[in-house]
Amino acid sequence: MIKLAMIDSKNIRTRMAPSPTGELHIGGLRTLLYDYALAKKNNGQFILRIEDTDQKRLVVGSQERILQVIKDYGLNWDEGPDIGGPYGPYVQSERLDIYQKYIKELVDKGFAYYCFCTQERLDSLRATQKAAKQLPRYDQHCFHLSKDEIQKNLDAKIPYTVRLVIPKSETIIFDDIIRGKIKFNTNEVDDQVLIKSNGIPTYHFAAVVDDHLMKITHVFRGEEWLTSTPKHLLLYRYFNWEAPAFAHLTVLLNPDGKGKLSKRTGSTHARVFLDEGYLPEAMLNFLMLLGWNPGTDQEFFTLDQFIQNFSLEHLHKKSPIFDRKKLDYFNGYYLRQKTDEQLFDLFKKFLPTASDDQIKILVPVLKERIVKLSDLVSQTKFLFENVEYDQELLLKKGTDPKLAIDMLTKSKELINNNFDNLSEKLLELIKNNNWNTGEFFMVFRVAICGSVFTPPVVECLPALGQKKTLEKIDIAITKLTQ
């Protein structure tokens, strides 16, 4: 039995190591947030490292977009590929010479071995094991090659990988920060490939070497990496290195609580949430509570408050539901905390064709009525175009067409004569004509906005302008007379 002691260091160093194979997942941002909080609370360092060893899946521009979206969420790092640091380089493809040094050490000590098996043989082996209902794993065929056979294959330049030697019938025990004592039998662990045939290390090898050399004390990662931990711990033992503390975070569940968060239920990329108009501070606050709690009823935290309150003891063992209604609740709250001046630029970003005067009118009217900033696009569509709708929509409440025409005609006369204090004047018009208030505003709302679900239509008219307001009423009258 082997048991590795967890590190106890006063200098906390955490890292986030995204792969530039696409966009940063929202779950990755949560992991980063916890890494960041632990380091900052303990006056330690948070490191950003790029793990680009999966060369086949690299996406052009992905690394730059990942760095930028992290910054756009208001987070930063103490060491990383763009700013350097004492343990660089911080991109794995720039560290290949380092990995070659350490893989040679493992091979020389007998803790790793060359594997010359072709992909065809490996596929056949896996198929045979699967048919026999056995656990698919490498059969250590090349582990038993003699030194002469190995050298002959190397001289012949036969492609090879380098595999980790897994001891037989041992128990690996470690204490996970979240899950407590974890045990693995090495008979269930495969001889992991450490160096691929192209000379590039796999995640398992590169991550361990980098975490050690960069003096990482705590590793946060998803629970899907739990079964890989024995391989990593063996590497730490073979190198006689002290292992970091591991925390395997729960997965984020779909809003219905069924299955891992997936695209079929909406956005999963961190960038998309910003593009949809969720505020960075609202997203971070929401993510803080998806796997951690403060031990109190408090639910609103600034980033600084979160750092002050963060504790490893309050990380969750149960997978949280990615409740989008809760996210909307947080975002609405943070939107309402902003002043009209702060909201001006945010509104402008989502309504680029609106004039400054229009934005100034819309901010106080709509700030209480939107959940996310992208809602502004649909809410204000009527300001910039004539929305198509059928005559029946004007008569939604069963209004007689002649009555609807009378309502719109008299409203047009009122607006044409005076465009100020319209709310009071329209209410007076309704009263003088003994119209039903709800019925009138249904007709008027549809005439102006082309929809029954609208922002406060009268308050928005100054942003529409007198001329366009009259034009929309004329369009509605025409629809009713056809």
Phi, psi of 260 (to 5 degrees): -65, 145
Tokens of 195: 């160096």
> How much of the chain is helix, strand and coil, in % rounded to 5?
50, 10, 35
Is 367 designated active site?
Answer: no
Distances (CA, A) of 251 to 225, 232, 257, 290: 11, 21, 11, 9
Residue 194's SS3 state is: strand
Closest listed residue to residue 98, CA positions, set 207, 236, 240: 207
Angle at 121 between CA 120 and CA 122, to 5 degrees: 90
CA distance 396 to 382: 19
- The three-class DSSP label of residue 242 is coil
Sheet strands (E) in 143-274:
161-164, 171-176, 180-185, 193-195, 218-222, 245-249
| Catalytic option among 133, 147, 263, 325 | 263
The pair of three-digit structure tokens given for residue 180, joined into one six-digit string: 């407590």
What's the one-letter identity of residue 140? Q
- Write the DSSP assignment of 112-153 as a string of letters: EEEE---HHHHHHHHHHHHHTTPPP----TGGG--HHHHHHH
Q: Which two structure tokens, joined as six digits, stand for 423?
A: 């709310």
Query: How crowded is the C-beta side of 23, counted as CA atoms within 13 Å?
Result: 12
Sign of CA dihedral 286, 288, 294, 300: negative
Evaluate the omega torsion of the peptide bond into residue 89 and state whether it is cis, within 30 degrees of 0.
Answer: yes
Q: Which single residue is written with the structure tokens 């956005």?
A: 267
Cα radius of gyration rounded to whole Å, the chain: 31
Burial of 11 (0-12, 13-18, 19+ CB in 10 A): exposed
Report the C-alpha gap between 167 and 472 in whole angstroms: 79
CA quadruple 358, 360, 361, 362: dihedral sign: positive
**How is residue 192 written in tokens?**
């992991």
**Strand 245-249 relative to strand 161-164: parallel, antiparallel, unpaired?**
unpaired
Q: Which residues are catalytic?
A: 263
